[in-house]
Structure 1
């Protein structure tokens, strides 16, 4: 009995210590993030008199939502820098019904044979493993996740996992309007729709397919079904759609849309060039000139986006600055690829297979050890912008959006 009591005491001490360490780390992340705002670009200072103060007064309350209250968060999800990973992105397929130039090489990609992709039962098993260890948000990606025939069943089973608070999807919206009512019934709580232009001819050029009207229908369908906000992801590329920035902002005037401007990122085969990159500072400068009543919102320490609200607009505007102002210090994201490989950093080439151990008979504890070891190897930050462009990495369609 004495030995048993001692083990329980040690276990409780260890769990409490990890929780305190994580909270301290998140406080420091929030402090650093807050300090960095004062060094932000000239455009942001130009409306500082209108901007909301960049503080994290309520961060602790929000962080409590990211953690289970019974100290059951697994050490598997904590890296060597104290970052707790509560957000898992699962790619359901490498296939897509568009051929976006920044996602897929012009010559196409070699797809993984179907038998080598994760089955539904394998996805659910791994989803359960992560959620039972502390993950509370899952996002389904692709390829185009809605073209997977069993997506409704996957959503239904994942949304039923105890401890999961958010089940989201990133989609190109081509088939979403038709499928969304059922997906919502199956537990889909949040969605992002990728849309990079509002001009039909540009849409066809970029995606190598027609379909702008169907995407707009999906946005309206999501609003009608009560999704709020409906997030619209726009990758800004110089000479292609940077003249539409304010047109996208106008989408937020009357509708609960969160337009998210994303800096153009390098992946294998997408012919990335720094000249195509439109930095956050430049995009913001254009927005401020047209919409001077824009105000900074308070961001969660693990947020990838800088979030803003414009007076009189129903929706909001955000900026994802992966290239010019990375957010690695607060990263809480992990990725499970369609072929079962596990990836701890979007820009890191390192991957480890979870599919192979599963099919070799590994039990959950063995899988946790593999996952935990990979998480512990995660670096403090990804390489600089130009080093990323030189680093071998898979095409985005393989990784998952």
Structure 2
């Protein structure tokens, strides 16, 4: 079992398979994707070895992220490789939803268990303003398809921005009243490229938490492979609400996840100074050297991300690691 010096256990791997994204979200890639490196992205055999290795170290859940992972034509094969790995119980995907109506059936056939869709506004015009794409109807169609499947957990990620959607809580709550999704509000995080935007738009999730509690929402128990959200449910609502508040006290105490970038670098934290290359270890089917190397790095994982001190490490934008 992967355990760090603070006693935290790591059941959850966030695996980026590309840093390319076709959206231009204001908080991440407002000017669109610009490649500043060789696109030596992880290949399917390397991904399979990674999955085997992390599973042997106690990982039970793999979340496939980007950039936008659906831009990889071999995404179904990647999902299948992870799902068929002994020890991996859950394979999840985070997507902007752009390609869901066309490709969701193939992802489900490959074994996808859960899907997170980024939707920062339920207003089509505001969605277009935030993402740079007039694709709200397409994304919502994909969400409806996933819900209709019935066996796939569906979550919606909404980044909180003071001037762009900070006023829309009532609209979101009305939506989850009759829609069985887990809607998670994510506090805007500062990265290397968005300091001015962060200063203008950051809003704490604590006010939303207070509102939920006042309206009778109740805390849910957290599973060991769950992400960092504080989850809430209400007996009168089909959907649930999650709050991801990285600036809150003791946020990192429950950390249970590691990250591997699309370039094959292990990141002990989303905001670590640099990734640790696993590429050389991924060229052989013998995963024992890789196991030993990953275990040897755990002593370097810090107690916290230091975001409160405005230290963002090497993370220029969230597309680098999928958040």
TM-score normalised by the shorter chain: which range applies? Answer: over 0.9
Residue in 2 that maps onto 1:100: 25
Query: How is 1:2-401 mapped onto 2 (pairs within 5 angstroms)?
Result: 73=1, 77-106=2-31, 108-114=33-39, 116-227=40-151, 229-271=153-195, 272-287=197-212, 292-300=215-223, 303-359=227-283, 363-389=286-312, 391-401=313-323
Moved more, 160-169 or 364-373: 364-373
Q: Which has the higher helix share?
A: 1
> Which segments of structure 1 move beyond 4 Å, counting only runs of 4 or more?
286-289
Q: Distance in 1 between matches of 2:144 and 2:321?
A: 28
5+ residue gaps, structure 2 = none
> How far did 1:111 drift?
4.6
1:33-68 deviation per Cα after TM superposition (whole angstroms, max 9, x unaligned): xxxxxxxxxxxxxxxxxxxxxxxxxxxxxxxxxxxx
Q: Distance in 2 between matches of 1:282 and 1:204?
A: 26
Distance 1:129 1:212, change over 3 A: same
> How far did 1:288 drift?
5.3
Report SS of the residue matched to 2:125.
helix
Q: Is the 8 A contact 1:105 1:269 kept in 2?
A: no
Q: Distance in 2 between matches of 1:396 and 1:384?
A: 14
1:195-241 deviation per Cα after TM superposition (whole angstroms, max 9, x unaligned): 10112222122111221111111110100011454110000100110
Q: Distance in 2 between matches of 1:245 and 1:176?
A: 26
Distance 1:140 1:100, change over 3 A: same
Q: Is the 8 A contact 1:95 1:142 kept in 2?
A: yes
> Could you say what the CA RMSD is over the residues aligned between the two structures, in angstroms?
2.0
Q: Distance in 1 between matches of 2:105 and 2:87?
A: 24
Residue in 2 that maps onto 1:37: none
What is the TM-score normalised by the length of structure 2?
A: 0.93
Distance 1:217 1:325, change over 3 A: farther
Q: Distance in 2 between matches of 1:239 and 1:385?
A: 22
- Higher-Rg structure is 1
Q: Distance in 1 between matches of 2:148 and 2:213?
A: 30
> How far did 1:129 drift?
1.0
What is the TM-score normalised by the length of structure 1?
A: 0.75
Aligned residues: 321
Q: Is the 8 A contact 2:220 2:233 kept in 1?
A: yes
Distance 1:321 1:347, change over 3 A: same
Q: Is the 8 A contact 2:41 2:262 kept in 1?
A: yes
